[in-house]
Structure 1
Protein backbone atom coordinates (compact mmCIF):
# COMPACT_ATOMS: atom_id res chain seq x y z
CA UNK A 1 0.00 0.00 0.00
CA UNK A 2 2.81 2.39 0.87
CA UNK A 3 4.49 1.74 -2.47
CA UNK A 4 1.28 2.28 -4.43
CA UNK A 5 0.31 5.50 -2.69
CA UNK A 6 3.80 6.94 -3.06
CA UNK A 7 4.21 6.07 -6.77
CA UNK A 8 0.70 6.42 -8.23
CA UNK A 9 -0.94 9.73 -9.09
CA UNK A 10 -4.49 8.36 -9.11
CA UNK A 11 -6.05 5.38 -7.31
CA UNK A 12 -9.60 4.00 -7.32
CA UNK A 13 -9.98 1.68 -4.33
CA UNK A 14 -12.96 -0.67 -4.73
CA UNK A 15 -14.32 -2.67 -1.75
CA UNK A 16 -17.30 -4.95 -1.16
CA UNK A 17 -18.24 -4.16 2.43
CA UNK A 18 -21.81 -2.98 2.11
CA UNK A 19 -20.92 -0.30 4.66
CA UNK A 20 -24.02 1.78 3.94
CA UNK A 21 -26.08 -0.80 5.83
CA UNK A 22 -23.25 -1.87 8.11
CA UNK A 23 -22.84 -5.40 6.75
CA UNK A 24 -19.04 -5.41 7.03
CA UNK A 25 -18.10 -2.32 9.06
CA UNK A 26 -14.43 -3.27 9.05
CA UNK A 27 -14.30 -2.15 5.42
CA UNK A 28 -14.90 1.41 6.59
CA UNK A 29 -11.25 1.43 7.65
CA UNK A 30 -10.44 1.87 3.98
CA UNK A 31 -12.03 5.32 4.05
CA UNK A 32 -10.08 6.20 7.18
CA UNK A 33 -6.81 5.14 5.61
CA UNK A 34 -7.63 7.03 2.41
CA UNK A 35 -8.33 10.23 4.34
CA UNK A 36 -5.05 9.92 6.23
CA UNK A 37 -3.04 9.27 3.07
CA UNK A 38 -4.55 12.17 1.12
CA UNK A 39 -4.01 14.54 4.03
CA UNK A 40 -0.29 13.77 3.79
CA UNK A 41 -0.14 13.51 -0.02
CA UNK A 42 -2.33 16.26 -1.39
CA UNK A 43 -1.34 15.51 -4.99
CA UNK A 44 -2.70 11.95 -4.84
CA UNK A 45 -6.19 11.49 -6.32
CA UNK A 46 -7.47 8.65 -4.13
CA UNK A 47 -11.13 7.65 -4.41
CA UNK A 48 -12.90 4.87 -2.52
CA UNK A 49 -15.88 2.99 -3.93
CA UNK A 50 -17.78 0.47 -1.80
CA UNK A 51 -20.42 -1.97 -3.12
CA UNK A 52 -23.16 -4.02 -1.55
CA UNK A 53 -22.83 -7.16 -3.69
CA UNK A 54 -26.12 -8.56 -2.44
CA UNK A 55 -28.10 -5.68 -3.95
CA UNK A 56 -25.88 -4.66 -6.88
CA UNK A 57 -25.64 -6.65 -10.11
CA UNK A 58 -22.37 -7.37 -11.89
CA UNK A 59 -23.36 -5.17 -14.82
CA UNK A 60 -24.18 -2.27 -12.51
CA UNK A 61 -20.89 -2.77 -10.67
CA UNK A 62 -18.88 -2.67 -13.90
CA UNK A 63 -20.73 0.41 -15.17
CA UNK A 64 -20.30 2.38 -11.96
CA UNK A 65 -16.59 1.49 -11.69
CA UNK A 66 -16.01 2.59 -15.29
CA UNK A 67 -17.85 5.91 -14.82
CA UNK A 68 -16.08 6.65 -11.57
CA UNK A 69 -12.66 5.91 -13.06
CA UNK A 70 -13.40 8.08 -16.10
CA UNK A 71 -14.57 10.93 -13.86
CA UNK A 72 -11.41 10.61 -11.77
CA UNK A 73 -9.16 11.14 -14.80
CA UNK A 74 -10.65 14.59 -15.39
CA UNK A 75 -8.31 16.54 -13.11
CA UNK A 76 -10.10 19.86 -13.50
CA UNK A 77 -13.50 18.51 -12.50
CA UNK A 78 -14.63 18.69 -8.90
CA UNK A 79 -15.54 15.15 -7.90
CA UNK A 80 -16.26 13.18 -4.76
CA UNK A 81 -13.63 11.01 -3.09
CA UNK A 82 -15.92 8.55 -1.28
CA UNK A 83 -18.75 6.61 -2.93
CA UNK A 84 -21.04 3.91 -1.55
CA UNK A 85 -23.30 1.78 -3.78
CA UNK A 86 -26.40 -0.03 -2.51
CA UNK A 87 -29.46 -1.27 -4.40
CA UNK A 88 -27.88 0.04 -7.59
CA UNK A 89 -27.81 3.61 -6.27
CA UNK A 90 -24.65 5.66 -5.69
CA UNK A 91 -24.40 7.56 -2.40
CA UNK A 92 -21.94 10.24 -1.26
CA UNK A 93 -21.29 11.46 2.28
CA UNK A 94 -22.94 14.68 3.30
CA UNK A 95 -23.54 16.56 6.53
CA UNK A 96 -27.08 17.89 6.45
CA UNK A 97 -28.65 20.00 9.15
CA UNK A 98 -31.35 18.10 11.06
CA UNK A 99 -33.75 20.92 11.79
CA UNK A 100 -36.19 18.65 13.56
CA UNK A 101 -33.55 17.59 16.05
CA UNK A 102 -32.51 21.21 16.52
CA UNK A 103 -36.05 22.24 17.39
CA UNK A 104 -36.43 19.49 20.00
CA UNK A 105 -33.03 19.98 21.63
CA UNK A 106 -32.39 23.71 21.40
CA UNK A 107 -32.47 25.48 24.71
CA UNK A 108 -35.09 28.12 25.22
CA UNK A 109 -34.11 31.64 26.19
CA UNK A 110 -33.43 31.59 29.95
CA UNK A 111 -35.66 33.73 32.10
CA UNK A 112 -33.94 35.40 35.08
CA UNK A 113 -35.42 34.13 38.34
CA UNK A 114 -35.20 36.16 41.55
CA UNK A 115 -33.62 34.25 44.42
CA UNK A 116 -34.60 34.55 48.05
CA UNK A 117 -32.45 34.59 51.17
CA UNK A 118 -31.49 31.13 52.38
CA UNK A 119 -32.12 29.39 49.06
CA UNK A 120 -29.90 26.45 48.13
CA UNK A 121 -28.07 27.45 44.93
CA UNK A 122 -25.07 26.06 43.07
CA UNK A 123 -22.95 28.04 40.61
CA UNK A 124 -21.26 27.13 37.34
CA UNK A 125 -18.70 29.16 35.41
CA UNK A 126 -19.12 29.46 31.66
CA UNK A 127 -17.33 31.87 29.33
CA UNK A 128 -16.73 34.54 31.92
CA UNK A 129 -20.17 34.33 33.52
CA UNK A 130 -21.46 32.66 36.66
CA UNK A 131 -24.90 31.09 36.45
CA UNK A 132 -26.90 29.89 39.44
CA UNK A 133 -29.28 26.94 39.59
CA UNK A 134 -31.15 25.15 42.35
CA UNK A 135 -28.93 22.85 44.40
CA UNK A 136 -30.54 19.39 44.37
CA UNK A 137 -28.48 18.28 47.37
CA UNK A 138 -30.58 20.35 49.77
CA UNK A 139 -32.40 17.34 51.24
CA UNK A 140 -29.57 14.82 50.92
CA UNK A 141 -28.05 13.70 54.24
CA UNK A 142 -24.49 14.67 55.12
CA UNK A 143 -21.75 12.07 55.09
CA UNK A 144 -20.07 11.12 58.34
CA UNK A 145 -17.61 13.79 59.48
CA UNK A 146 -19.10 16.49 57.26
CA UNK A 147 -20.62 19.87 58.07
CA UNK A 148 -22.83 22.14 55.98
CA UNK A 149 -21.89 25.81 55.98
CA UNK A 150 -24.14 28.66 54.90
CA UNK A 151 -21.74 30.87 53.01
CA UNK A 152 -21.19 34.44 54.16
CA UNK A 153 -17.94 35.15 52.34
CA UNK A 154 -15.75 33.35 49.82
CA UNK A 155 -12.18 33.98 48.75
CA UNK A 156 -11.23 34.17 45.06
CA UNK A 157 -7.62 33.70 43.99
CA UNK A 158 -5.90 33.88 40.61
CA UNK A 159 -6.72 30.26 39.76
CA UNK A 160 -10.41 30.88 40.47
CA UNK A 161 -10.56 33.81 38.07
CA UNK A 162 -8.96 31.66 35.36
CA UNK A 163 -11.74 29.09 35.77
CA UNK A 164 -14.50 31.72 35.77
CA UNK A 165 -13.13 33.33 32.60
CA UNK A 166 -13.24 29.98 30.82
CA UNK A 167 -9.47 29.62 30.45
CA UNK A 168 -9.23 26.40 32.45
CA UNK A 169 -11.20 23.18 32.52
CA UNK A 170 -12.28 22.68 36.18
CA UNK A 171 -15.88 23.38 37.15
CA UNK A 172 -15.09 23.99 40.81
CA UNK A 173 -13.66 27.24 42.10
CA UNK A 174 -13.47 29.35 45.26
CA UNK A 175 -12.24 26.85 47.84
CA UNK A 176 -11.95 29.40 50.68
CA UNK A 177 -15.16 29.76 52.66
CA UNK A 178 -16.48 31.39 55.80
CA UNK A 179 -19.98 31.21 57.18
CA UNK A 180 -22.31 29.61 59.70
CA UNK A 181 -22.77 25.87 60.23
CA UNK A 182 -26.35 24.78 59.46
CA UNK A 183 -25.99 20.98 59.61
CA UNK A 184 -23.60 18.58 61.30
CA UNK A 185 -22.91 15.02 60.18
CA UNK A 186 -22.43 12.03 62.41
CA UNK A 187 -19.11 11.82 64.22
CA UNK A 188 -18.61 15.58 64.47
CA UNK A 189 -18.22 16.52 68.13
CA UNK A 190 -16.23 19.77 68.25
CA UNK A 191 -18.58 21.82 66.06
CA UNK A 192 -22.30 22.54 66.29
CA UNK A 193 -25.07 24.29 64.37
CA UNK A 194 -24.66 28.05 64.67
CA UNK A 195 -20.86 28.08 64.91
CA UNK A 196 -19.12 30.58 62.63
CA UNK A 197 -16.24 28.89 60.80
CA UNK A 198 -13.59 29.56 58.17
CA UNK A 199 -11.74 27.01 56.07
CA UNK A 200 -11.73 24.98 52.87
CA UNK A 201 -14.46 23.39 50.77
CA UNK A 202 -13.44 21.39 47.68
CA UNK A 203 -16.97 21.54 46.40
CA UNK A 204 -18.84 23.41 43.72
CA UNK A 205 -19.35 27.07 44.50
CA UNK A 206 -22.70 27.19 46.30
CA UNK A 207 -24.64 29.15 48.88
CA UNK A 208 -24.46 26.12 51.18
CA UNK A 209 -21.12 24.30 51.10
CA UNK A 210 -20.49 20.76 52.29
CA UNK A 211 -17.04 19.99 53.58
CA UNK A 212 -15.12 17.88 56.07
CA UNK A 213 -15.22 19.14 59.64
CA UNK A 214 -11.43 18.77 59.70
CA UNK A 215 -11.10 21.48 57.04
CA UNK A 216 -12.83 24.28 58.95
CA UNK A 217 -11.86 26.24 62.04
CA UNK A 218 -14.25 27.89 64.49
CA UNK A 219 -14.02 31.69 64.53
CA UNK A 220 -13.94 33.39 67.90
CA UNK A 221 -16.27 36.31 68.61
CA UNK A 222 -13.48 38.92 68.58
CA UNK A 223 -12.17 37.82 65.14
CA UNK A 224 -13.16 39.49 61.86
CA UNK A 225 -14.64 36.81 59.60
CA UNK A 226 -14.48 39.09 56.55
CA UNK A 227 -10.68 39.22 56.75
CA UNK A 228 -10.29 35.54 57.58
CA UNK A 229 -12.21 34.44 54.47
CA UNK A 230 -9.18 34.98 52.21
CA UNK A 231 -6.57 33.62 54.63
CA UNK A 232 -6.73 29.78 54.32
CA UNK A 233 -5.38 29.29 50.79
CA UNK A 234 -2.21 31.38 51.11
CA UNK A 235 -1.43 30.31 54.67
CA UNK A 236 -1.99 26.63 53.87
CA UNK A 237 0.64 26.87 51.13
CA UNK A 238 3.07 28.75 53.36
CA UNK A 239 2.65 26.32 56.27
CA UNK A 240 2.99 23.28 54.04
CA UNK A 241 6.06 24.69 52.33
CA UNK A 242 7.93 25.83 55.43
CA UNK A 243 6.85 23.27 58.02
CA UNK A 244 6.22 20.08 56.03
CA UNK A 245 8.61 20.41 53.08
CA UNK A 246 11.44 22.65 54.33
CA UNK A 247 11.10 21.70 58.02
CA UNK A 248 12.22 25.19 59.06
CA UNK A 249 13.53 25.40 62.61
CA UNK A 250 14.15 28.27 65.02
CA UNK A 251 17.01 30.53 63.95
CA UNK A 252 17.13 29.33 60.34
CA UNK A 253 17.02 31.78 57.43
CA UNK A 254 14.02 31.94 55.09
CA UNK A 255 14.28 33.81 51.78
CA UNK A 256 10.99 35.12 50.37
CA UNK A 257 11.24 36.11 46.70
CA UNK A 258 9.45 38.99 45.02
CA UNK A 259 6.11 38.64 43.22
CA UNK A 260 4.92 35.90 45.57
CA UNK A 261 1.80 37.86 46.52
CA UNK A 262 -0.39 36.69 49.36
CA UNK A 263 1.61 33.48 49.75
CA UNK A 264 4.77 35.51 50.31
CA UNK A 265 3.06 37.62 52.95
CA UNK A 266 1.78 34.46 54.64
CA UNK A 267 5.26 32.91 54.48
CA UNK A 268 6.62 35.93 56.33
CA UNK A 269 4.12 35.45 59.17
CA UNK A 270 4.72 31.70 59.32
CA UNK A 271 8.51 32.16 59.39
CA UNK A 272 8.17 34.62 62.24
CA UNK A 273 5.91 32.21 64.14
CA UNK A 274 8.59 29.51 63.74
CA UNK A 275 11.21 31.93 65.12
CA UNK A 276 13.07 31.84 61.82
CA UNK A 277 14.83 34.80 60.21
CA UNK A 278 12.88 35.89 57.09
CA UNK A 279 14.53 37.93 54.33
CA UNK A 280 12.34 39.51 51.66
CA UNK A 281 13.31 40.29 48.06
CA UNK A 282 11.20 43.23 46.88
CA UNK A 283 11.17 45.22 43.65
CA UNK A 284 10.67 48.51 45.46
CA UNK A 285 10.45 50.07 48.89
CA UNK A 286 6.68 50.20 48.51
CA UNK A 287 6.49 46.43 47.94
CA UNK A 288 8.73 45.79 50.94
CA UNK A 289 6.58 48.01 53.13
CA UNK A 290 3.42 46.29 51.96
CA UNK A 291 4.81 42.86 52.83
CA UNK A 292 6.05 43.93 56.24
CA UNK A 293 2.75 45.62 57.09
Structure 2
Protein backbone atom coordinates (compact mmCIF):
# COMPACT_ATOMS: atom_id res chain seq x y z
CA UNK A 1 0.00 0.00 0.00
CA UNK A 2 1.24 3.49 -0.79
CA UNK A 3 2.06 5.35 2.41
CA UNK A 4 1.07 8.99 2.50
CA UNK A 5 3.32 10.61 5.17
CA UNK A 6 2.25 14.18 4.37
CA UNK A 7 -1.14 15.83 4.02
CA UNK A 8 -0.34 17.39 0.65
CA UNK A 9 2.61 17.50 -1.71
CA UNK A 10 2.18 21.13 -2.74
CA UNK A 11 1.45 23.85 -0.22
CA UNK A 12 -0.55 26.74 -1.55
CA UNK A 13 -0.82 29.70 0.84
CA UNK A 14 -3.58 29.38 3.42
CA UNK A 15 -6.21 32.07 3.88
CA UNK A 16 -4.37 33.29 6.98
CA UNK A 17 -1.08 33.53 5.05
CA UNK A 18 -2.80 35.50 2.29
CA UNK A 19 -4.09 38.00 4.85
CA UNK A 20 -0.91 38.05 6.97
CA UNK A 21 2.20 36.91 5.05
CA UNK A 22 4.34 34.49 7.10
CA UNK A 23 7.56 35.76 8.67
CA UNK A 24 11.06 34.89 7.42
CA UNK A 25 12.68 31.65 8.54
CA UNK A 26 13.79 31.72 12.17
CA UNK A 27 17.35 32.91 12.75
CA UNK A 28 17.95 29.86 14.97
CA UNK A 29 17.65 27.48 12.01
CA UNK A 30 20.87 28.55 10.33
CA UNK A 31 24.47 29.36 11.13
CA UNK A 32 25.02 26.65 13.70
CA UNK A 33 28.55 25.56 14.47
CA UNK A 34 27.53 22.03 15.44
CA UNK A 35 24.60 21.45 13.08
CA UNK A 36 21.33 20.41 14.68
CA UNK A 37 22.70 19.28 18.03
CA UNK A 38 21.42 21.29 20.99
CA UNK A 39 23.93 20.39 23.68
CA UNK A 40 25.12 23.96 24.26
CA UNK A 41 21.91 25.23 25.94
CA UNK A 42 23.26 25.64 29.45
CA UNK A 43 26.56 27.11 28.26
CA UNK A 44 24.76 29.69 26.12
CA UNK A 45 22.36 30.67 28.89
CA UNK A 46 25.05 31.05 31.58
CA UNK A 47 27.44 32.95 29.34
CA UNK A 48 24.81 35.43 28.20
CA UNK A 49 24.55 37.10 31.59
CA UNK A 50 28.28 37.33 32.21
CA UNK A 51 29.16 39.90 29.56
CA UNK A 52 27.87 43.21 28.27
CA UNK A 53 26.46 46.28 30.03
CA UNK A 54 24.89 45.68 33.45
CA UNK A 55 21.59 47.21 32.35
CA UNK A 56 21.17 44.69 29.52
CA UNK A 57 22.42 41.51 31.23
CA UNK A 58 19.06 40.23 32.49
CA UNK A 59 17.29 40.72 29.18
CA UNK A 60 20.27 39.31 27.33
CA UNK A 61 19.94 36.13 29.35
CA UNK A 62 16.20 35.99 28.55
CA UNK A 63 16.94 36.30 24.82
CA UNK A 64 19.41 33.41 24.97
CA UNK A 65 17.00 31.29 26.97
CA UNK A 66 14.34 31.89 24.34
CA UNK A 67 16.79 30.77 21.66
CA UNK A 68 17.23 27.54 23.61
CA UNK A 69 13.44 27.20 23.76
CA UNK A 70 13.13 27.64 20.01
CA UNK A 71 15.81 25.08 19.25
CA UNK A 72 14.05 22.63 21.54
CA UNK A 73 10.83 23.25 19.61
CA UNK A 74 12.70 22.61 16.35
CA UNK A 75 13.85 19.27 17.72
CA UNK A 76 10.30 18.36 18.77
CA UNK A 77 9.04 19.29 15.30
CA UNK A 78 11.56 17.06 13.50
CA UNK A 79 11.03 14.13 15.85
CA UNK A 80 7.25 14.38 15.57
CA UNK A 81 7.55 14.05 11.78
CA UNK A 82 9.74 10.98 12.24
CA UNK A 83 7.20 9.51 14.67
CA UNK A 84 4.43 10.06 12.12
CA UNK A 85 6.36 8.15 9.47
CA UNK A 86 7.15 5.31 11.86
CA UNK A 87 3.49 4.98 12.87
CA UNK A 88 2.54 4.62 9.23
CA UNK A 89 5.28 2.06 8.64
CA UNK A 90 4.15 -0.02 11.64
CA UNK A 91 0.52 -0.01 10.56
CA UNK A 92 1.39 -1.23 7.07
CA UNK A 93 1.59 -4.83 8.30
CA UNK A 94 -1.68 -4.70 10.28
CA UNK A 95 -5.25 -5.44 9.18
CA UNK A 96 -6.77 -3.27 6.48
CA UNK A 97 -8.68 -0.93 8.80
CA UNK A 98 -5.77 -0.43 11.21
CA UNK A 99 -3.37 -0.03 8.29
CA UNK A 100 -5.48 2.63 6.61
CA UNK A 101 -6.25 4.55 9.80
CA UNK A 102 -2.65 4.55 11.09
CA UNK A 103 -1.53 5.80 7.69
CA UNK A 104 -3.96 8.69 7.91
CA UNK A 105 -3.13 9.34 11.57
CA UNK A 106 0.50 9.57 10.52
CA UNK A 107 -0.55 12.23 8.03
CA UNK A 108 -2.18 14.28 10.79
CA UNK A 109 0.74 13.90 13.16
CA UNK A 110 3.16 14.87 10.40
CA UNK A 111 1.04 17.97 9.83
CA UNK A 112 1.39 18.82 13.53
CA UNK A 113 5.17 18.63 13.14
CA UNK A 114 5.03 21.03 10.21
CA UNK A 115 2.80 23.40 12.17
CA UNK A 116 5.34 23.35 15.00
CA UNK A 117 8.09 24.21 12.52
CA UNK A 118 6.04 27.18 11.28
CA UNK A 119 5.35 28.20 14.88
CA UNK A 120 9.12 28.49 15.50
CA UNK A 121 9.39 31.08 12.72
CA UNK A 122 6.58 33.15 14.21
CA UNK A 123 7.96 32.75 17.73
CA UNK A 124 11.24 34.23 16.51
CA UNK A 125 9.42 37.50 15.78
CA UNK A 126 8.74 37.76 19.51
CA UNK A 127 12.36 36.95 20.42
CA UNK A 128 13.87 39.41 17.95
CA UNK A 129 11.55 42.19 19.16
CA UNK A 130 12.52 41.54 22.78
CA UNK A 131 16.14 41.58 21.64
CA UNK A 132 15.68 45.11 20.30
CA UNK A 133 14.80 46.24 23.85
CA UNK A 134 18.06 44.68 25.05
CA UNK A 135 19.98 46.65 22.41
CA UNK A 136 18.37 49.90 23.56
CA UNK A 137 19.26 49.08 27.18
CA UNK A 138 22.85 48.51 26.14
CA UNK A 139 22.94 51.89 24.37
CA UNK A 140 21.61 53.70 27.47
CA UNK A 141 24.27 52.26 29.80
CA UNK A 142 27.12 54.61 28.69
CA UNK A 143 25.10 57.73 29.55
CA UNK A 144 24.39 56.31 33.01
CA UNK A 145 28.05 55.46 33.51
CA UNK A 146 29.20 58.92 32.40
CA UNK A 147 26.82 60.67 34.78
CA UNK A 148 27.91 58.45 37.67
CA UNK A 149 31.60 58.97 36.88
CA UNK A 150 31.25 62.76 36.91
CA UNK A 151 29.26 62.61 40.14
CA UNK A 152 32.01 60.55 41.78
CA UNK A 153 34.71 62.95 40.56
CA UNK A 154 32.85 65.93 42.01
CA UNK A 155 32.39 64.19 45.35
CA UNK A 156 36.08 63.27 45.47
CA UNK A 157 37.24 66.80 44.67
CA UNK A 158 34.91 68.35 47.25
CA UNK A 159 36.40 66.04 49.84
CA UNK A 160 40.08 66.57 48.91
CA UNK A 161 40.11 70.06 47.32
CA UNK A 162 36.94 71.98 48.23
CA UNK A 163 38.15 75.14 46.44
CA UNK A 164 39.32 73.47 43.23
CA UNK A 165 38.22 75.29 40.04
CA UNK A 166 37.64 71.90 38.41
CA UNK A 167 34.50 71.49 40.50
CA UNK A 168 32.67 74.19 38.54
CA UNK A 169 33.71 72.63 35.23
CA UNK A 170 32.64 69.19 36.36
CA UNK A 171 29.30 70.48 37.59
CA UNK A 172 28.65 71.98 34.17
CA UNK A 173 29.55 68.65 32.58
CA UNK A 174 27.21 66.92 35.03
CA UNK A 175 24.32 69.15 33.94
CA UNK A 176 24.93 68.17 30.30
CA UNK A 177 25.32 64.51 31.22
CA UNK A 178 22.07 64.56 33.19
CA UNK A 179 20.24 66.13 30.24
CA UNK A 180 21.68 63.50 27.90
CA UNK A 181 20.77 60.73 30.33
CA UNK A 182 17.24 62.11 30.74
CA UNK A 183 16.64 61.90 26.99
CA UNK A 184 18.09 58.38 26.81
CA UNK A 185 16.01 57.16 29.76
CA UNK A 186 12.83 58.60 28.24
CA UNK A 187 13.53 56.86 24.94
CA UNK A 188 14.22 53.62 26.77
CA UNK A 189 10.94 53.89 28.66
CA UNK A 190 8.94 54.60 25.51
CA UNK A 191 10.59 51.96 23.35
CA UNK A 192 10.39 49.33 26.10
CA UNK A 193 6.62 49.69 26.31
CA UNK A 194 6.17 49.76 22.55
CA UNK A 195 8.37 46.73 21.89
CA UNK A 196 7.05 44.74 24.87
CA UNK A 197 3.49 45.00 23.57
CA UNK A 198 4.60 44.22 20.02
CA UNK A 199 6.68 41.21 21.08
CA UNK A 200 4.01 39.47 23.10
CA UNK A 201 1.37 40.28 20.50
CA UNK A 202 3.51 38.29 18.06
CA UNK A 203 3.80 35.43 20.56
CA UNK A 204 0.13 35.28 21.56
CA UNK A 205 -1.08 35.53 17.95
CA UNK A 206 1.23 32.66 17.01
CA UNK A 207 0.10 30.60 20.01
CA UNK A 208 -3.55 31.18 19.22
CA UNK A 209 -3.17 30.10 15.60
CA UNK A 210 -1.07 27.07 16.54
CA UNK A 211 -3.40 25.85 19.27
CA UNK A 212 -6.58 26.28 17.24
CA UNK A 213 -5.07 24.37 14.34
CA UNK A 214 -3.99 21.61 16.72
CA UNK A 215 -7.57 21.42 17.97
CA UNK A 216 -8.80 21.07 14.38
CA UNK A 217 -6.39 18.19 13.73
CA UNK A 218 -7.33 16.50 17.01
CA UNK A 219 -11.02 16.63 16.09
CA UNK A 220 -10.51 15.02 12.70
CA UNK A 221 -8.15 12.47 14.26
CA UNK A 222 -10.97 11.27 16.50
CA UNK A 223 -13.21 10.91 13.44
CA UNK A 224 -10.58 8.64 11.91
CA UNK A 225 -10.59 6.44 15.01
CA UNK A 226 -14.28 5.72 14.47
CA UNK A 227 -13.31 3.75 11.35
CA UNK A 228 -11.48 1.14 13.41
CA UNK A 229 -13.73 -1.82 14.27
CA UNK A 230 -12.93 -2.60 17.91
CA UNK A 231 -15.73 -5.12 18.38
CA UNK A 232 -14.26 -8.21 20.13
CA UNK A 233 -14.14 -11.37 17.99
CA UNK A 234 -13.95 -14.99 19.05
CA UNK A 235 -11.14 -17.25 17.85
CA UNK A 236 -11.73 -18.27 14.26
CA UNK A 237 -14.23 -15.51 13.60
CA UNK A 238 -13.47 -13.04 10.79
CA UNK A 239 -14.25 -9.36 10.77
CA UNK A 240 -16.26 -7.67 8.11
CA UNK A 241 -14.28 -6.40 5.15
CA UNK A 242 -13.03 -2.86 5.60
CA UNK A 243 -14.61 -0.33 3.27
CA UNK A 244 -13.53 2.98 4.84
CA UNK A 245 -10.82 4.02 2.39
CA UNK A 246 -12.89 6.75 0.77
CA UNK A 247 -14.14 7.94 4.15
CA UNK A 248 -10.64 8.22 5.62
CA UNK A 249 -9.48 10.08 2.53
CA UNK A 250 -12.43 12.45 2.80
CA UNK A 251 -11.62 13.10 6.50
CA UNK A 252 -8.07 14.10 5.57
CA UNK A 253 -9.37 16.38 2.83
CA UNK A 254 -11.86 17.98 5.23
CA UNK A 255 -9.06 18.56 7.74
CA UNK A 256 -6.89 20.13 5.08
CA UNK A 257 -9.67 22.46 4.01
CA UNK A 258 -10.31 23.47 7.63
CA UNK A 259 -6.64 24.31 8.14
CA UNK A 260 -6.34 26.19 4.86
CA UNK A 261 -9.46 28.25 5.49
CA UNK A 262 -8.63 29.11 9.11
CA UNK A 263 -8.14 32.84 9.67
CA UNK A 264 -7.45 34.66 12.92
CA UNK A 265 -10.42 36.99 12.46
CA UNK A 266 -12.77 33.99 12.65
CA UNK A 267 -11.02 32.19 15.51
CA UNK A 268 -13.29 30.04 17.65
CA UNK A 269 -11.74 30.74 21.04
CA UNK A 270 -12.39 34.23 22.39
CA UNK A 271 -11.29 35.92 25.61
CA UNK A 272 -14.23 37.92 26.92
CA UNK A 273 -13.55 40.19 29.87
CA UNK A 274 -15.82 39.95 32.87
CA UNK A 275 -17.84 42.93 34.08
CA UNK A 276 -15.49 43.18 37.07
CA UNK A 277 -12.45 43.46 34.78
CA UNK A 278 -14.09 46.05 32.55
CA UNK A 279 -15.05 48.15 35.57
CA UNK A 280 -11.48 47.97 36.87
CA UNK A 281 -10.15 49.02 33.47
CA UNK A 282 -12.45 52.04 33.40
CA UNK A 283 -11.25 53.10 36.84
CA UNK A 284 -7.61 52.89 35.74
CA UNK A 285 -8.03 54.92 32.55
CA UNK A 286 -8.24 58.43 34.16
CA UNK A 287 -5.22 57.69 36.35
CA UNK A 288 -3.08 56.75 33.35
CA UNK A 289 -4.07 59.91 31.50
CA UNK A 290 -3.26 62.02 34.55
CA UNK A 291 0.09 60.31 35.11
CA UNK A 292 1.51 60.61 31.61
CA UNK A 293 -0.23 63.77 30.45
CA UNK A 294 0.11 62.74 26.79
CA UNK A 295 -2.72 62.16 24.35
CA UNK A 296 -1.50 59.02 22.57
CA UNK A 297 -4.48 59.03 20.23
CA UNK A 298 -3.49 62.35 18.67
CA UNK A 299 0.19 61.52 18.95
CA UNK A 300 1.15 64.95 20.32
CA UNK A 301 4.26 64.92 22.40
CA UNK A 302 5.08 61.36 21.43
CA UNK A 303 8.11 60.68 19.30
CA UNK A 304 7.06 57.09 18.78
CA UNK A 305 3.53 57.72 17.47
CA UNK A 306 2.10 54.94 15.28
CA UNK A 307 0.08 56.21 12.32
CA UNK A 308 -1.98 53.01 12.19
CA UNK A 309 -4.55 53.66 14.90
CA UNK A 310 -6.39 50.40 14.27
CA UNK A 311 -3.64 48.16 15.60
CA UNK A 312 -1.26 48.18 18.54
CA UNK A 313 1.39 46.40 16.45
CA UNK A 314 2.20 47.27 12.82
CA UNK A 315 1.40 44.09 10.90
CA UNK A 316 4.58 43.45 8.93
CA UNK A 317 6.22 46.79 8.32
CA UNK A 318 8.58 46.47 11.28
CA UNK A 319 9.42 42.80 10.89
CA UNK A 320 12.21 43.21 8.37
CA UNK A 321 13.75 46.00 10.46
CA UNK A 322 13.73 43.78 13.54
CA UNK A 323 15.19 40.93 11.49
CA UNK A 324 18.25 43.03 10.65
CA UNK A 325 19.38 42.76 14.26
CA UNK A 326 21.99 40.02 14.57
CA UNK A 327 20.78 36.79 16.13
TM-score, normalised by the number of residues in structure 1 = 0.19
- Which structure has the highest helix share of the two? 2
Higher relative contact order (CA 8 A, sep 6+): 2
- Which structure has the highest strand share of the two? 1
